[in-house]
Amino acid sequence: MNLTKLLAGTALALGLATAAAAQDKTKVGFIFVGPVGDGGWTYEHNEGRLAVEEHFGDKVETVYQESVPEGADAERAMTQMALGGADLIFTTSFGYMDPTINVAAKFPDVKFEHATGFKRADNVSTYSARFYEGRAVQGHIAGKMTKTNKIGYIGSFPIPEVIRGINSAYIHAKKVNPDVEFSIVWAYTWFDPAKEADAAKALIEQGADVILQHTDSTAPQAAAQEAGNVITFGQASDMAEYAPMPRVSSIIDNWAPYYIDRVQAVMDGTWESTDTWDGIGPGMVEIGEITDAVPAELKAEAEALRDSIGAGEYHPFTGPINKQDGTAWLAEGEVADDGTLAGMNFYVEGLTGDIPQ
Amino acid sequence: MIQLEKRPTPSKFWTWTTPVLAVALTMIAGGLMFALLGKNPFLAIKTIFYDPILGEFAFYYRGQLLVKAGPLILIAVGLAMGFKAGIWNIGAEGQYIMGAIVGAGVGLAFYPSDSPLILPAMILAGAIGGLLWAMIPAILKVKFSTNEILVSLLLVYVAEQIQAAMALGLLRNPDATGFPGSRNLAQWDASANLELIAGTGMHLGVVAALIAVIFAYILLSRHLMGFHIQLAGQSPKAARFGGVNPTRLVIFCMAISGALAGLAGLFEVTGPAGQISINFNSGYGFTAIIVAFLGRLHPIGILLAGLLMALTYIGGEAAQATLGIPAAAIQAFQGMLLFFLLGVDVLSNYRIRFLRKGVA
């Protein structure tokens, strides 16, 4: 079995060598989970790609493949890019983790960057953004704005990144409004406008007047607009076309500076396998403009919260915080460590329902 | 005036010519679309149809054609038996998922053993998993005359929920700190369904698909059961007078198609996909329905149709990545191919008559 693996590797490497000889530009590939026009997650990654093109001009060539399913097809898409002579490949969804590691093992000379995962190798880096910092600001606004005290939350998959967001939003909503309740719906998809709209409508019917989403399309925004008197926040992208109502603010992922840095590192030959997790401070997470639908006083509070997180003065997970089952997690003044946050698989005290498992 | 006149039997000539004609029409219409998108139509068509077979990286693509076509053919061959007999199993996707789950579960129960019996046990369990899932609509049909189209289709959604529950709960990798998904079965030597000859894409699932094609061909052309299947499809009444037991036929066809779909799922999860994740199924069970009809429900036809579908997928992906053609345009292109393939069938089933007005 080892021999067959070795042979496969050599066959692929030979193909790579012939491909690499024929080019001088740095070739950068992107694997996207949704269409580039999703208006959310993939849209922002594609904006990063365009920024790379603009920054480096003739020195780079970018290629991308959109709507790549998280599974066997992802491995082929990455192999195609590596064979096509890509020097650096960004794989921009959690489900690409194992495929990225597998393909990277066959192409030791190609650099890979996997978003939101935890497996690394000599030629595989991971990167993600501290979206939970943005969720804290969002939770604060949501907690003050809700009149029914019911906040609906559309989750994608119950993975730590999403659970962190729920916890952070809840903690900060609860802080300003002790009566607040969260209803969480799991959509089991990153991008499915029909499912997302259904989830939003169901939550609104149950009395939620704030909809938070961790899915990539603008369908929940449209559903909220239709219902009226429901507020939402742009997810991953500004979604400004729904401002000033229902979209009152947003969490924007800004990947461009990171992508430009990493491409530069490949050009300079200084690229190393790293694990990057940046937040509001370094500018990877931005809070989109808070509209006039939010009272000026609350807007100022939210901006102050954003700035104190950005400056590193306040951590959204600062004790005392208990877990859902009542056991102590963080003592007074204690701050969560990155290890626990990275693998977060529990709700904090006060959230109802179970994480699916 | 043009009139269509039904042929007593489909034309032999057109039956074999229409697929070629359909591909040619697709190239013209698709080329126009690519040109409208500002891409070089000749380059796009070449990337889709020629490069995966004979292009620079064909050594990789050819293997991938088999990887993609394998499960499609395996499932479609099973479905075709039922379709021929008028038994409509639309839920192969669910049987595919259940086969993968049951097979993976049996394997993981023995983790981290390195016994050589593990993969064979998983293969058996995969077939049984798919078979049992198909038995639900089959038994409901023969006992209570429920509609197997609806029941099998709705069971797909049930299977998807079970899949999510398994990836999050029972089969979750205990070493993956809070992340869903099972252990990687392709990286565990005892369960890995690797390529038999490196670089060819030839894994056990592809071999199973080829065997299924041969067996289905023999069954349909040489065996009494095959005769019963054909008879039941063409004339249910005649079949009953001819001594065909409809209950047995439903159970048999559903069992075969379920077991083959389950096998496809198991081979996929131990090989190309690697793990049970929340959404590891990628629609093979539904695409296989198209493949079955595209292949005219004939085992050899299905083999060719599966390869053609795989080619449009692989070539389409290549066109996306190298020429920047949007994914939606590739899907539209595949849609055109199906549209023309089914559309030109008119030629094999009907004769076209040009009539002058006034002549009756």
Alpha-carbon gap: B314 to the closest alpha carbon of chain A (Å): 9
Interhelix angle for A2-21 vs A72-83, to 10°?
Answer: 40
**The token pair that represents B152 in the structure block:** 């099998």
Query: What is the model's pLDDT at position B168?
Result: 85
Residue whose tokens read 């959310």: A40
Phi/psi for A183 (5° steps) reads -110, 125
Q: Do residue B324 and residue A63 have CB atoms under 8 angstroms apart? A: yes
Domain boundaries, chain B: 80-297
- As a whole number of angstroms, the distance between CA B126 and CA B101 comes to 8
| CATH number, domain A131-251+287-342 | 3.40.50.2300
Query: Does A11 contact B268 at a Cβ distance shorter than 8 Å?
Result: no
**Does the pLDDT of residue B72 top 90, yes or no?**
yes
Q: Which residues of A touch B317 (CB under 8 A)?
A: 65, 73, 76-77, 80
| Cα–Cα distance, A339 to A15 (Å, whole number) | 40
Q: Which residues of B touch A33 (CB under 8 A)?
A: none
Q: What are phi and psi of B255, to 5 degrees?
A: -65, -45
Residues whose CB falls within 8 Å of the CB of residue A214, separated by 6 or more in sequence, listed in order: A153, A154, A155, A156, A162, A165, A166, A235
Q: Is A344 on the interface with B (CB under 8 A)?
A: yes
Nearest CA in chain A to B201: A8
Q: Which residues pair with A253 in a beta bridge?
A: A285
Q: Which residues of B touch A15 (CB under 8 A)?
A: 57, 59-60
What band does B231 get if pLDDT is binned at 50, 70 and 90?
confident
Task: Supply the pLDDT for residue A20.
Answer: 46
Max CA pair span of chain B: 82
Q: What is the pTM of this model?
A: 0.83
The pLDDT of residue B129 is above 80: yes
B332 touches chain A (CB under 8 A): no
Q: Which of residues 154-213 of B touch A (CB under 8 A)?
A: 164-165, 168-169, 172, 177-180, 184, 189, 192, 194-195, 197-199
From chain A, the residues in CB contact with B62 under 8 A are none
Indicate the burial class of A241 (C-beta count within 10 angstroms; 0-12, 13-18, 19 or more). Answer: exposed
Which pLDDT belongs to residue B186? Answer: 85
Contact map slice: B 61-100 vs A, CB within 8 A: 64, 67
**What element of type H or E holds A61?**
strand A60-65
Amino acid at B153: L
Listed by start position, the domains of chain A span: 2-129, 131-251+287-342
In this structure, the strands spanning A26-31 and A60-65 are: parallel
Q: B197 to chain A, minimum CA–CA distance in Å?
A: 7
**pLDDT recorded at residue A336:** 94
Name the fold adopted by A2-129.
Answer: Rossmann fold (3.40.50)
Mean pLDDT (whole number) for B40-60: 89
What DSSP state is assigned to residue A308? H
**Inter-residue contact B164 to B186 (CB < 8 Å):** no
Where do we find the tokens 């050594």? B59
What integer pLDDT is reported at residue B11 of this predicted model? 77
Q: Summarize pLDDT for B304-357 with one digit per residue, the tens.
A: 999 999 999 999 988 988 888 888 999 899 899 888 988 888 777 888 777 766
Nearest CB neighbour to A98, from listed B64, B274, B282: B274
Q: How far apart are CA A200 and CA A249, in angstroms?
A: 18
Point out the residues of chain A with pLDDT beneath 50.
Answer: 1-3, 6-7, 9, 13-22
pLDDT digits (tens, 9 = 90+) for B173-207: 888 766 778 888 888 888 888 888 877 888 999 99
Cβ pair B59:A356 closer than 8 A:
no
Kindly state the helix (H) or strand (E) to which residue B320 belongs, with its residue range: helix B299-323
Query: Hunting for tokens 């993981």 — which residue is that?
Result: B108
- Residue ranges of A 87-106 with Cβ closer than 8 A to chain B: 94-95, 98-99, 102
For the stretch B4-15, pLDDT in tens is 888 877 777 877
Best residue of A2, A7, A76, A323 to probe chain B, by most B CBs closer than 10 Å = A76
pLDDT of residue A22: 45
d(CA B77, CA B72): 9
Among A18-32, A244-258, B118-132, B156-170, the least confident range: A18-32
A206: β partners = none
Whether residue A72 and residue B268 make contact (CB cut-off 8 A), yes or no, is yes
H/E segment holding residue B61: helix B58-84
Is A38 in CB contact (< 8 Å) with chain B?
no
User: What is residue B105's predicted lDDT score, i.e. its pLDDT?
Assistant: 95
Residue A335 is classified by DSSP as B
CB contact under 8 A, A11 and B179: no
**Interface contact flag, B273 A72, Cβ < 8 Å:** yes
A53 touches chain B (CB under 8 A): no
Q: Could you tell me the CA-to-CA distances from B323 to A47, A81, A103, A313, B65 in Å, in that order?
A: 19, 12, 22, 48, 20
pLDDT at residue B357, rounded to an integer? 61
Beta pairing partners, A128: A277
Are A67 and B192 an interchain contact pair (Cβ–Cβ within 8 Å)?
no
Backbone angles phi, psi at B129, to 5 degrees: -60, -50
Cβ neighbours of A356 in B, within 8 Å: 164-165, 168-169
Q: Would the CB atoms of B317 and A11 count as touching at under 8 Å? A: no
Residues of chain B positioned with their CB less than 8 A from the CB of A72:
67, 268, 272-274, 282
Strand-pair partners of A65:
A31
Rounded to whole angstroms, how far apart are CA atoms B360 and B350? Answer: 19
Task: List all residues 6 or more positions away from B117 whose beta carbon is below 8 Å from its beta carbon.
Answer: none
The pLDDT of residue A23: 53
d(CA A211, CA A227): 11
ipTM of the complex: 0.78
